[in-house]
Amino acid sequence: MRSLVRQTWSALCPDLSRRNWETDTTFKMLSNAILLFGMVLVLWGAGAGLMRTVWLYDTAKESSRWLQGCSDDCNAARVIGIVVFALVQMARAISALLALALMAAAIGGALGFLFGLPRPPTAAEQQEKQRTGARWKLSTNLTEISDWLTKIIVGVGLVEATKAWGAFTASTVVVAGYLFESRHGSPAVVGCALAGGAVFGFLFAYLYTQLIIARLLAEADTGLTAPSKIATQHFRLIKPSSQAIAPRISRSRDPRALATTARPELPDVQTALQIASIPFGDLTQRPDVTFEDVWNWGRAKAILNDYCEAAKAYIRLLGTERGDTSPVDDPHLLLEAARVLNAAGPTYQNAAAALAQAALQVRDKAEQEVRDAITGDVAALLLSGRLPGGYREALTLLKSIGEKPRGDSDTNGRLHLLRALAKGQKYKALLEAKAKAGKVVDDDPELKALREEIREDLKFAFGQEGGESLKEANRPFWDPHSEQEDLAAEEADLRAVYQADTEFQQLVDTPPAPAPDKTGQ
């Protein structure tokens, strides 16, 4: 009983911060009310059966020699007989009441199911469906029937309503007469059992249909377009640092810098088309949708360059608990989310910078490639001024490149290039400060050493696979004759070095070596 009271109180005061609290609250409260109703019927039925036994005993005692008295040898048999008879009467009363309540509950449940059954939107509601993403609409039959019944009751008047009530009470009297000879207040209890059973059956079936069956129907409908297991497994093989999902965050603020040479492969695009065809509203309304389902949907949209839609999925993921771990502790998710939101446009760029910083805090949980990607993105944000600290913080962050045992490996040369850009910003600042102080800068040892460090970083970056592409893509940072002069005006980090160092010019202007002639001609 204490547990029943505690569960009922919990249902009346639900925890609104939990998912699916409405289902737990509704069914807990309704189930406890049904249980309490059944317990009352059982207790009354037991009492009615016992009182009927007493009444029948008093009625038959004077005419039955066996009940009037006998020798001591039959006293035990008489007591046992009376007890068995009482138990039979109690079972008869209890089962009769429960049978009446269940019959009424079945009728009410059928109506509840009919009123609660969802329906697909009509043609007139198609536009609203496309706007909200809802493929099924919760039933409004109960509201419509309620309005209809209200009008009928008002139209027919109180006379017919009185007749209906009279017919109900008459039926309860007849049933009570058959079962209990209309004793012990049975007409009222029979009426309560019928009315209570009908109401509880209606409410339970209606709510179950709305909260459970409606979702199953919607799931079956959306399941027709659900991605295959092969498709979802294929997406798990794509690395979080892959630029096929979203371009890495660039040091440049110009949107053109988002262009990337990495392109998704044909299987990636085919899988993305299959998954992205599901509306986001349908996906999130499915009762069995998982964290990975939403993540795959966001990846699909990102691969198709629909970054604004992909941002919806990543924002939802970051606000959803994933078992015992928090999404903000997952460097893979944070890296992808930062890049997708950055690519989604200026609206999300502040959020992208914050996510990149959060990824930096947990980067040690990831493998080396992801750590390098996170480090590069944060360094690019520092150099572009989107995060405070500038080149000083960037140099601190990139100081450990190549250092053992926990240095960044930088297999694609990006981190060395970013460190060269950071040193280029430092070079410009030192050059301006020394010139303002009237010092000779031509043979300044500090500037000379800095130029040498820059050349070493660029040599490493250009020596990696794809180094020539890296050189051409970043030429505006040092080349005064670049076709993207307007882009590099405020981002010419290495132009001062280019103008002062002939060795630097030779390094960055050397054309790529010709590809070997595979034809042999």
493 three-state secondary structure: coil
Angle CA(307)–CA(312)–CA(317) in degrees, nearest 5?
Answer: 120
Query: What are phi and psi for residue 101, nearest 5 degrees?
Result: -65, -40
Residue 137's DSSP bridge partners are 119
> What is the reported pLDDT for 276?
75
Percent of the chain clearing pLDDT 70 (strictly above): 68
Task: Please say whether the beta carbons of 90 and 82 come within 8 A.
Answer: no
138 three-state secondary structure: coil
DSSP 243: T
Task: Please say whether the beta carbons of 454 and 497 come within 8 A.
Answer: yes
Alpha helices (runs of H) in 157-228, residue ranges in sequence order: 158-180, 186-208, 214-223
> What is the reported pLDDT for 420?
93
Which of the residues in the chain have pLDDT under 50?
Answer: 16, 132-133, 224, 256, 259, 261, 512-521
Rounded Cα–Cα distance for residues 415 and 410 (Å): 6
Non-local (6+) Cβ contacts of 79 within 8 A are none
Q: Which two tokens stand for residue 27?
A: 């069914």
- B/e letters for 448-459, b = 16+ CB within 10 Å, e = fewer, are eebbeebbebbe
Alpha helices (runs of H) in 344-494, residue ranges in sequence order: 346-361, 368-384, 390-397, 414-436, 445-462, 467-473, 485-488
Output the CA torsion sign for 24, 27, 30, 34: negative
> What is the reported pLDDT for 189?
85
> What is the reported pLDDT for 518?
35
Query: What are phi and psi for residue 237, nearest 5 degrees?
Result: -85, -15
